[in-house]
Each structure stands twice: as C-alpha cells, then as structure tokens.
Amino acid sequence: MGGAVIILFFLPWLDNSPVKSIRYRPSWHKVLYGIFVVFFAVLGYLGIQPPSDIGTLIAQIGTLFYFGFFLLMPWWSTIGMFKPVPDRVNFAAH
C-alpha cells in the first residue's frame, strides 16, 4: 500500500513527454489515463469490500495495471504524434 503512494512522489521524473499538457498529447494517451482512473476507482471500491475470490483476482489485475502504468511511463510517454504547442503557451524570458 505504501508503494502506491511512494510511486506518486517519482511521477515528475517518470513522465518524459515533450509536452506536459494532456491537450497536446496523442488521443491514445487520454484513453490510457481514462483506463487508469477506472482501475483506480475499482481498486478503491474493492478495498472497502469484504474479501472474495473474484474481488481478489480483479484487485490483483488492477494492481498490476496501476504499477505498470507508472513503471512503463518513461517509455509510453515519449511515443506518439504530439500536437505542436502554440507560441502563446511557450515561456519566453524578457
């Protein structure tokens, strides 16, 4: 359980995307984030339920996806066709 929180600390170093906004990332990144949110909610729900065989299996699959999402982020965050960032968004020091 502690690993699920500690991995969030390393998130800035795991995301190697050339753009930081979801708006300029490929559409399949948005789908991946959506799947992550669903698994996050499912794991939260299963965490408050009494143990069952199917619940344990779903929780194990969800845990695999949760950690896989973060551990594979240095790889998948760099692939794909990124939209160009507009000039109004780029920072220019005066």
DSSP 61-85: HHHHHHHHHHHTHHHHTS-S-PPPP
Please determine, for residue 94, whether its predicted confidence score (pLDDT) is greater than 80: no
Q: What is the pTM of this model?
A: 0.76
Say which residues have a Cβ less than 8 Å from residue 30's Cβ, sequence separation at least 6.
Answer: 22
Which two three-digit tokens encode residue 15? 């995301």
Burial-class residue 25 by CB neighbours within 10 Å (0-12, 13-18, 19+): buried
Between CA 47 and CA 39 the distance in angstroms is 12
Please determine, for residue 9, whether its predicted confidence score (pLDDT) is greater than 70: yes
- pLDDT band for position 6 (cuts 50, 70, 90): very high
pLDDT tens string 37-83: 999 999 999 999 999 999 999 999 999 999 999 899 888 888 878 87
